[in-house]
A = this chain, B = another copy of it.
Amino acid sequence: MEEPPLYKFGPYKIDAREVFHATPLSYAMVNLRPLLPGFLVINLRILSVCPKRVVKRFADLSSDETSDLWVTAKEVGAKLEQYHKASSITFAIQDGPQAGQTVAHVHIHVIPRKKGDFEKNDEIYDATDVKVKEKEMKEKLDLDVERKDRSMEEMAHEATEYLALF
């Protein structure tokens, strides 16, 4: 029997059921926590596109990896924008800890956007970051049950919907 492909995200092993698209150098996956709590979110998803090779900083990628990563992110963005009936996309790399990177593996956040998705459009960026002031974090952790990780079943279900787009 063929082994399922192995994807790594920093120190973590990624279950192949979370991955909905892959190229020779990159892969795209659904997220464990679709968005951080504390924000008005209507049907929004964060997807991640990563190089297969585990590297921390964007500058560590070869030109081939850089090109493959972003051509892949472009395609993922276009398909997911259409699928979610959105009209724009936020693409972002938090490249290094002082930019909010929490897993030491380059990844592009791809977020389909639509009118009214956040009370204030710009807050989408805040929501993608894990580093918030300690007090705020504590309040959120205390108050918001949604912070819990999603189950593999939930993630696999979302990934299966996207698989059909590629």
A77 contacts which chain B residues (CB < 8 A)?
58-59, 95
Q: Which chain B residue shows the least CB distance to A130?
A: B122
Q: A129 is contacted by which of B78, B122, B129 (Cβ under 8 Å)?
A: B122
Please measure, in the bound complex, the distance between the C-alpha atom of A95 and the C-alpha atom of B91, giving whole angstroms: 7
Please measure, in the bound complex, the distance between the C-alpha atom of A91 and the C-alpha atom of B131, giving whole angstroms: 17
Indicate if the CB atoms of A98 and B91 lie closer than 8 Å.
Answer: no
Please measure, in the bound complex, the distance between the C-alpha atom of A99 and the C-alpha atom of B71, giving whole angstroms: 20
* 10 more A-B residue pairs beyond the given contacts A89-B93, A120-B132, with a C-beta to C-beta distance below 8 A: A67-B67, A70-B70, A88-B95, A88-B101, A90-B93, A92-B92, A100-B121, A100-B122, A121-B131, A122-B132
